[in-house]
Structure 1
Amino acid sequence: MGTWPERARLSSRVGTRIAMIAAVVFGMMTLNAYAESDIREAPFPASDITLVVPFGEGGATDILFRAIAEQAQVHLGSAIIPMNMPGNGATLGSQFVKQSPPDGYTLLGSHQTIDLAYIAGLSDYSHDAFAPVALLTRTVNIPATMAGHTLTQASDLAALVKQRPGELLVGIIPNSTDHFFWLHFFEQAGISPADIQFVRYPDTGAQVVALLGGELDLAMLNLPSAGALFNSGALVPLGVASDTRLAALPQVPTLIEQGITLTNTTDRGVFAPLHTPPERVERLAHAFEQALQQPALMEALLYTHGSSVDFMPREAYSRYLDTQYEQLQRLADNIAFER
């Protein structure tokens, strides 16, 4: 045990070490507190904001976020600069934002693919890894084919698959919203996915090119990515996955009208890194809300892009994401979503 002086010296050394560790911990906490305080107290925004789009140029997500950001930056007072960062099932861009400083200057523009990538095992994080800013739009999805194809409407697909099992080529971005759409569509239409050949593409733009070139039979598109091609007759919309017909495609029946009970939208919103100060999140959300109230933008979204405005601020959006995740997980289990 040692003599009393030895025990006293040992106790003193231990006490000194504990005090030093406590001082270091206190110092780190103080520095973190000062850093958070600096973020909160600094004028915001004081510089440009980067909006990461985890998909390639020309797809619906890219087109919609660029249109909305152009208006939102007017109300924010700082430029919002979209930056495409495709790759790894849209996880390259989301990972970049997830790891960015939580200061409100780096945002993610995305949709259900964050949770779908997690459910499929492509990433180790879901929407919980971010601070939701706001839900902005819902875009109606449209199964489509090329001009001159045997198919003219979605309800004919089941019969064609029976005639040509294993031959039809369907484009997908693996484990993304279009992959999920097709699996859900086949379930509702009574088609076995085993009788379809899925062809993988990095983004929607590549699928459009493949359709136009006759390399695919089907792809899930929408008005932002293919509206002009629908109007020109180069591509053919086979139905719209909504409750009512689209104003921009009044002649195209809904899937429900064709006996396929399926509504399907891609719900796009903005996310910030976790722990971004709430007041900055609210400032950003308010700018996007003001942008979506502009009549010209609302009209373009609805009539040109087949997208409805459905603004939800951060708390409501967070609850919605939790509910949506449960639905996606349940449906993924039921239809054997690829993991």
Structure 2
Amino acid sequence: MKKFLVLIVAIFLVFSLAACGSSNSTSTKADSNTGEKPSESAKSDFPKKPIKLIIPYGPGGATDVIFRLVAKEAEKHLGQPVVPVNMEGAGATLGARHVKDAKPDGYTILGSHDTIATSHLSGSSDFSFDAFEPISLLTKTINIPSTNSKSGIKTAAEFVEYVKANPGKAKISMIPGSTSHFFMAQFLAETGISTDEIRFVGYPGTGDEVAALYANEVDFSMLNIPSGKGFYEDGSLIPAGIAHNERLDLLPDTPTLIEQGINIENATNRGIFAPKGTPEEHIVIIEEAFKKALESDEVKNKINDELGSITSFIPHTEYKDFLDKQEAKLKEIAEGLDFKK
């Protein structure tokens, strides 16, 4: 009888162990499957809350106008609001630094342009494009040197003549270390104007530059259609030249700089960036939403026909190479120039 009981107990233990093994195996398999599902779910669940789009300039400038327009359309494809936040200051580096140092989760992104590199090259910041995860290029905006109608100067070539005849008197606006600063440096180099012949006046943002030119505080500013159109239409400001290889449809009577003997083509390239380390799946989701936004006829027409810009989408896989080439060009302009003057 004892032997029989021992045998029964032994059989029971064998089946118990087998059952445990099967349970563990099933549990492990289930855990494995469950482990995959949250990952897939995490991808599809992004974004779960609003995304902040930091614009490193004040309201009213081209950067502000364009990013707000595209973001409004992009949020339809994200299922969450894209909230534009103006964060101007420190030559547009304040907002950029805020995003650079933000949590890399895709919920804080930057809408900016070449100023990231120009600020670094001019010594205004200690970081450049490589401090971010590039998401995509969105637009290119043709730049337009402009004057106040009261000055009597109607073209860029006339401004050059004015400077030569009145050395040290002309005042040029710029945002320190930004695209307007580099444009003016390029303009002076191309026209043979010495920095001793003009006076640079710095402003925190494009809106401030427009206001200064309108108030006749300065004589020459780099604007564009988004920031200057209303003033061109009412005649208070004059587009003195188009920094492109052809005239703009919106300003058919304004000659290009090349037509005036000034060999400059210059555009501001606007795109979106995320903090370094942001998951690629989040970058792809944001990229796709902004791509679809640019495909909207309403957005595209407004950018191309009303804002004097060109829709020019480049995905994150190609955007880095574009930025590297752009920075190399800007570096050439920066060499030998004194940006402290």
Alpha-carbon distance in 1 for matches of 2:245, 2:339: 25
Tell me the equivalent position of 1:240. 242
Please list the CA deviations of residues 63-118 of structure 1 after superposition, one character each: whole Å capped at 9, or x if unmatched: 11001101111111111000000111111111111111111110000011111111
Instruction: Give 2:243's aligned amino acid.
Output: A
Please list the CA deviations of residues 20-41 of structure 1 after superposition, one character each: whole Å capped at 9, or x if unmatched: xxxxxxxxxxxxxxxxx79955
Tell me the equivalent position of 1:109. 111
Structure 1 residue 338, shift from structure 2 partner: 4.2
Alpha-carbon distance in 2 for matches of 1:329, 1:40: 41
State how 1:327-338 maps to structure 2 within 5 Å. Answer: 327-338=329-340
Regions of 4+ moved over 2 Å: 37-42, 334-339
Larger-gyration structure (1/2):
2
8 Å CA contact 1:172–1:179 kept in 2: the answer is yes
Alpha-carbon distance in 2 for matches of 1:112, 1:39: 36
Tell me the equivalent position of 2:147. 145
Tell me the equivalent position of 1:96. 98
Instruction: Give the 3-state SS of the residue equivalent to 1:109 in structure 2.
Output: strand
**1:194 counterpart = 2:171:** no
**1:320 counterpart = 2:322:** yes
Structure 1 residue 148, shift from structure 2 partner: 2.5
Instruction: Give 2:102's aligned amino acid.
Output: S
State how 1:52-67 maps to structure 2 within 5 Å. Answer: 52-67=54-69
Instruction: Give 2:317's aligned amino acid.
Output: E
- How large is the RMSD of aligned CA atoms in angstroms? 1.7
8 Å CA contact 1:48–1:80 kept in 2: the answer is yes
Alpha-carbon distance in 2 for matches of 1:100, 1:332: 29
Please list the CA deviations of residues 210-256 of structure 1 after superposition, one character each: whole Å capped at 9, or x if unmatched: 11112111111011111111011111000110111111111111101
**1:299 counterpart = 2:295:** no
Q: Unaligned stretches of 5+ in structure 1?
A: 1-36
8 Å CA contact 1:184–1:335 kept in 2: the answer is no
Alpha-carbon distance in 2 for matches of 1:101, 1:159: 51
Alpha-carbon distance in 2 for matches of 1:191, 1:54: 30
State how 1:12-31 maps to structure 2 within 5 Å. Answer: none
Instruction: Give the 3-state SS of the residue equivalent to 1:159 in structure 2.
Output: helix
Alpha-carbon distance in 1 for matches of 2:208, 2:216: 12
Tell me the equivalent position of 1:72. 74
Alpha-carbon distance in 2 for matches of 1:133, 1:269: 7
Q: Which of 213, 216, 224 is residue 215 of structure 2 equivalent to?
A: 213
Instruction: Give 2:146's aligned amino acid.
Output: A
Instruction: Give 2:199's aligned amino acid.
Output: Q
Alpha-carbon distance in 2 for matches of 1:72, 1:184: 35
8 Å CA contact 2:58–2:88 kept in 1: the answer is yes
Please list the CA deviations of residues 303-332 of structure 1 after superposition, one character each: whole Å capped at 9, or x if unmatched: 211100110000211111111111111221
8 Å CA contact 1:141–1:220 kept in 2: the answer is yes
- TM-score, normalised on structure 2? 0.86
Instruction: Give 1:286's aligned amino acid.
Output: E
**1:158 counterpart = 2:160:** yes
How many equivalent residue pairs?
A: 304
8 Å CA contact 1:175–1:338 kept in 2: the answer is no
Alpha-carbon distance in 1 for matches of 2:305, 2:84: 23
Tell me the equivalent position of 1:255. 257
Instruction: Give 1:132's aligned amino acid.
Output: P
8 Å CA contact 1:139–1:266 kept in 2: the answer is yes
Q: Unaligned stretches of 5+ in structure 2?
A: 1-38
**Identity within the alignment, %:** 44
8 Å CA contact 1:116–1:328 kept in 2: the answer is yes
Instruction: Give the 3-state SS of the residue equivalent to 2:45 in structure 1.
Output: coil
Decide whether aligned partners of structure 1 residues 40 and 324 sit closer, same or farther in structure 2, where only a CA change above 3 A counts: farther
